[in-house]
Amino acid sequence: MRYLIFLGWIMEIYKNEKRQRYLNEYSIAHLFSFSIEEFIEVHEYKRDEWIIQEGMRPDFLFYVIEGKAKIYVTHQNGKVSLINFINANDYIGEMELLNEVYYTKGIQTSTKIICFALPFHRCYAQMLEDAKFLRELTKFLSIKATQMAAKYSYSLAFPLENRLADFILQTSDEEVYKEKHVTVCDFLGVSYRHLLHVLAQFCEKGYLQKEGRHYRIQQHNPLYELAEMLRNK
């Protein structure tokens, strides 16, 4: 393995047997009509590292195989907003692959992330000419667009309890939830007071336990049940 230091972050690149083990276990060969394995790098990012800095075009198309991340954007007034999540089997950098002119959003890890990295300088043309891969990418983008549209309807159709449960499960790492309240309020469109009230309810019911500024998940099932209502809408 080797390490690459980028903008203060240390990203690990798996080599040899460790790389091959991930290629075998999480093969994406079926997504392409050409031999993709020779181009794939396997990258590991620690929690809170930036996979992509906002405004900087990536050099890779990433495919997440383990872990979670968050997408941020900075508005013209300087405010930074969380706009979406990234999970296993999601792509990162697909918009930059398809668009020469595109303002790149910031991607920061929520947990340790392991992903396949396909270098644009080596297989950019092959990916854009591969009808099989482009069909798969179109499916991914359509699902992503549908989920983004649904997010706005949830704020009208469901109480904060359901949406916060889903948010906690999306952002927790090793059973610990530690997102800043102001970020959560902005993302969910609720007041600071309302958020604290529901968090206190979750603690009273035994779903969470407050530990300083963070919360430890004590009961997963009630949170999953609340979050699952969003999926079944």
Q: Where are the beta strands (DSSP E) in the chain?
A: 2-6, 9-14, 41-45, 50-52, 60-66, 69-74, 80-86, 91-92, 106-109, 113-119, 176-177, 208-211, 214-217
Cβ neighbours of residue 2 under 8 Å, at least 6 residues apart?
12, 13, 15
Could you give all domains of the chain from N- to C-terminal order, each with its CATH number?
A: 2-152 (2.60.120.10), 158-231 (1.10.10.10)
At 49-86, the pLDDT tens digits run 999 999 888 999 999 999 999 999 988 888 889 999 99
CA distances for 18 relative to 22, 29, 46, angstroms: 7, 18, 17
Whole-angstrom CA distances from 163 to 156, 170, 171, 199 are 11, 10, 12, 12
Tens digit of pLDDT for each residue in 10-23? 789 999 999 999 99
Query: pTM for this one?
Result: 0.88
Q: Per 3-state DSSP, what percentage of the chain is helix, strand, and coil (rounded to 5)? A: 45, 25, 30
Select from 223, 160, 229 the least CA-distant residue to 189.
Answer: 160
> Mean pLDDT of successive 10-residue segments in the chain (233 residues)?
53 94 97 97 95 92 97 89 94 92 88 97 97 97 86 80 95 93 93 97 97 95 93 65
